[in-house]
Structure 1
Amino acid sequence: KRPRKSSGSRIRPRPSFPIPSPPAPPRRRGAMLRLRRSLLSQILSSSPASPISHLSRLISAAAPAVSPNPSFAVEDYLVSTCGLTRPQALKASAKLSHLKSPSKPDAVLAFLAGLALSAADVAALVVNDPLFLCAKVEKTLAPIVIGLTALGLSHSEIARLVSLSRACFRSRSILSKLHYYLPLFGSSEDLFRVLKRGAGLLSADLERVVKPNSAFLRECGLSDCDIVKLCIARPWLLPSSMERIRAMVAHAEGIGVPRGCKMFRHALHAVAPLSKEKITNQVEHLKKTFMWSDAEVGVVVSKHPCVLTGSHQMLQSKSEFLISEVGLEPTYIAHRPALLTYSLEVRLRPRHYVVKFLKESGLLDRGRDYYRAVMISEKEFVEKFICPHKEAAPHLAEDYAAACRGEVPSSFRFT
């Protein structure tokens, strides 16, 4: 028998195609994100030796499949969920136009929350690398975290590495690179100081570029500690081409600093950003400004290569002060090039005024060497040149402090 129909109703045929699930309401999506964060926190606090299969099951449970949502707008998601400004979201959304639902980015955001990245850090990460939101948590990000934990990095250090390395963190090659860099740098802090100025170390080819450069620098007499100090000052050093490294070494030797000597690292630091032509021009400027002979400028550059990095204006100001005002001979300065490494406003000029005042007031032997007054530490200078004269010159400390601030009194007072 045919089923009896109720009055006023009709049985509608069941559609042959699946009806898409409605988009999760905001409260439900928020609960899903909290669940993911909770599970990921358990994962991150577990032993580094936890099986990746177990990791995948937990993450899969935290990230159920979400059907394509026709109403999903990437730009709005970036603003409301990731904290980007509208212009930032508009630019970033161009790389995420393929996203049809918040499933993947929600999983990534939950992962980042499990690492305790701040909202500002997450926003900055998305701005610089929008495709990070498309990374596979269970196949890429989570195994990388497990590997970094095995290398001894804490969760807070891993979170910082995410912010510094950006797109490089999405590549599992980061594990082999950190395995090399951490022993070389000796601490994650020094490595992060370099990465803060650019992620070139993580994007460079380790086997073809970085390791050969390191080996060559060691052949030149540099220790690992020397290499690290150079990298902190010049973050692009190790990722550079071998030709550029060899040119730097040749320039250092060309200014009179041979390989293996104590000043070689300082010479490399000085010539690193300079071409051969610029080095030649700077040497000629030093000769002209300080009235030095070829031999004298050679002594200065070999003892303190950093003078090559000074601006022409700064060198001119120091020359006029030391020769015209202090009354030092060019040869005297050439054999004491450390004078050129100190600040004119903060050290050279204020200490000169104190020494001059004390000599004119009869409180200091006129034969006392100005160079020695400049070379000692601030604490020692105050103890030797300020404190002994508190009674005879009660305003000396005040005037010296004013001079150090750039507020040089017209004359030092004496009572």
Structure 2
Amino acid sequence: MFSSLSKTLLGRPLSLPIALRLISTATSNRPSFAFSYLVNSCGLSPESALYVSNRVVFETSARPEAVIDALKSHGFSQSQISGIIRKWPGLILANPERTLLPKLNYLRSVGFSGSDLARIITGGPYLLRRSLEKHLIPNFGRLRDFLGCDKNAVTAIRRSPIILVRGFEATVGPFVKILRDNGVREARILWLVRRQSTMMIRLSDHLEEIMMKTKGMGFDDPSLAKFAVAISAVMGMSESTWERKIEAYSWWGWSRDDAMRAFVKSPGCMTLSEGKIMAVMGFFVKEMGFESSFLLRHPRLMSLSLEKRIRPRCLFFKHLLSHGLMKTKMGLTTLLTISEEDFLQKFVTPHLKEAPELLDIYREKQHMATRTLVP
């Protein structure tokens, strides 16, 4: 035992007081088994093992091994289990059949995968201390009823586990009331809960101020869908991040007022990374030969996927033009925003008899686009 401990201690530098306390702990009667087990079987560092063994006492491995087996059976890795034990030492002595498995099985039954559970519970192990019947089931049910189905509730909790830890009324309820009172439509509220619940919960005390700021930018009708996107953008960006995006657009000739006009038209254009802004602008200006003002008139195109939609469709569009096959007057913006099914039906299928290779050409351009980087 002492030899094993010595190797553990020699493996990393410790101050003398810590080392003496660890040796004292490991060589005393009752805590020694717990300390040794936590280090050798659970992978805890000596410091963490000392912390945990000072808070829980066990003299056999039966209960700890049952707990570890229960967690591993639900997809938890050894490092995740060690992290949970450090945060909640009492877990090592929990009753798996009564405390752990019913909760884990319930969460799996409503749609959480093993990796979901491992990530969520590693981040907040106290979730397992909440009552299944009095807390987990009713709060998941409340969120499910609000969002319409289990899948949407699972998506929201994946992004914001605190909803399930603290409960619906303590987390989602307050900001939903503010949004409703300000005229945001229910469909957009549901979108914000699914997509931005973490930010909405964290900033709920400032939400009225954020809404006033958003309205002042030109979004004066909270009932419009783009108002929710604008709130999301304003909440999610610091002033420095906002300025970097303004600078990215200015590199292509936009003024600050231009960027703000584009934001009001299509708020998604300010939620993009600077890299995405530069890449899309670079493609339209350098490869397609457009002026940057084209995207100022149609800023919603900025939010489309460059690799999956913009590049392959634009290159295919140029192919049709060069071969005299572009007979419709449909504009490029419509060509880029219609669904894939409509695109194939309107631009590929009608020409397959006279140019049967067109479908292969389009697929090839899609494949090439995913491997091409825009300077």
TM-score of the two chains, using structure 1 as the length reference: 0.63
2:252–2:292 contact (8 Å) kept in structure 1:
no
Tell me the residue number matched to 1:121: 76
Question: Residue type of the partner of 2:57?
Answer: K
Question: Residue type of the partner of 1:126?
Answer: I
CA positional deviation for 1:132: 4.4
Provide Cα deviations, 1:113-167, integer angstroms capped at 9, x if missing partner: 6x786164274553232164624757x9947988x79xx9577459968643442
Residues 188 and 133 of structure 1: CA distance in aligned 2, closer, same or farther (over 3 Å): farther
Question: Residue type of the partner of 2:347?
Answer: F
State how far apart, in whole Å, the 2-side matches of 1:153 and 1:125 are: 20
Question: Residue type of the partner of 1:182?
Answer: G
State how far apart, in whole Å, the 1-side matches of 2:247 and 2:206 are: 24
The structure whose residues are more often helix, as a share, is 2
Question: Residue type of the partner of 1:376?
Answer: I
Provide Cα deviations, 1:341-394, integer angstroms capped at 9, x if missing partner: 112233222212212121221222385422222112222222322233335434
Name the Cα RMSD after superposition.
4.2
Provide Cα deviations, 1:245-275, integer angstroms capped at 9, x if missing partner: 3343234323322323221221122222213
2:156–2:197 contact (8 Å) kept in structure 1:
yes
Residues 185 and 95 of structure 1: CA distance in aligned 2, closer, same or farther (over 3 Å): farther
Residues 168 and 313 of structure 1: CA distance in aligned 2, closer, same or farther (over 3 Å): same
Tell me the residue number matched to 2:141: 182
State how far apart, in whole Å, the 1-side matches of 2:113 and 2:88 are: 14
CA positional deviation for 1:191: 3.5
Tell me the residue number matched to 2:207: 245
State how far apart, in whole Å, the 1-side matches of 2:36 and 2:74 are: 17
State how far apart, in whole Å, the 1-side matches of 2:160 and 2:370 are: 41
Q: Secondary structure at the match of 1:121?
A: coil
Aligned pairs, number: 330
Query: 2:45 aligned with 1:93, yes or no?
Result: no
Residues 210 and 364 of structure 1: CA distance in aligned 2, closer, same or farther (over 3 Å): closer
State how far apart, in whole Å, the 2-side matches of 1:94 and 1:70 are: 9
1:185–1:191 contact (8 Å) kept in structure 2:
yes
Which ranges of structure 2 fall in alignment gaps of 5 or more residues? 1-28
Matches within 5 A, 1:12-31: none
Residues 95 and 376 of structure 1: CA distance in aligned 2, closer, same or farther (over 3 Å): same
Q: Which of 260, 264, 281 is the aligned partner of 2:223?
A: 260
Q: Secondary structure at the match of 1:289?
A: coil
2:265–2:299 contact (8 Å) kept in structure 1:
yes
Q: Which of 223, 226, 238 is the aligned partner of 1:275?
A: 238
CA positional deviation for 1:177: 6.9
- Larger deviation, residues 394-403 vs 371-380: 394-403
Query: Bigger radius of gyration, 1 or 2?
Result: 1
Which ranges of structure 1 fall in alignment gaps of 5 or more residues? 1-67, 410-415
Q: Which of 117, 125, 136 is the aligned partner of 1:167?
A: 125
2:308–2:369 contact (8 Å) kept in structure 1:
no
State how far apart, in whole Å, the 2-side matches of 1:178 and 1:408 are: 43
Residues 124 and 179 of structure 1: CA distance in aligned 2, closer, same or farther (over 3 Å): farther
Q: Percent identity?
A: 19
Residues 223 and 133 of structure 1: CA distance in aligned 2, closer, same or farther (over 3 Å): farther
2:156–2:194 contact (8 Å) kept in structure 1:
yes
Question: Residue type of the partner of 1:167?
Answer: P
Tell me the residue number matched to 2:325: 363
Tell me the residue number matched to 1:380: 342
CA positional deviation for 1:211: 3.5
Tell me the residue number matched to 2:262: 300
Query: 2:156 aligned with 1:200, yes or no?
Result: no
Residues 220 and 401 of structure 1: CA distance in aligned 2, closer, same or farther (over 3 Å): same
Residues 272 and 178 of structure 1: CA distance in aligned 2, closer, same or farther (over 3 Å): farther
Question: Residue type of the partner of 1:169?
Answer: L
Residues 263 and 159 of structure 1: CA distance in aligned 2, closer, same or farther (over 3 Å): closer
1:209–1:239 contact (8 Å) kept in structure 2:
yes
Query: 2:355 aligned with 1:399, yes or no?
Result: no
Tell me the residue number matched to 1:289: 252
Tell me the residue number matched to 2:315: 353
Residues 248 and 153 of structure 1: CA distance in aligned 2, closer, same or farther (over 3 Å): farther
Residues 172 and 394 of structure 1: CA distance in aligned 2, closer, same or farther (over 3 Å): closer
Q: Secondary structure at the match of 1:72?
A: helix
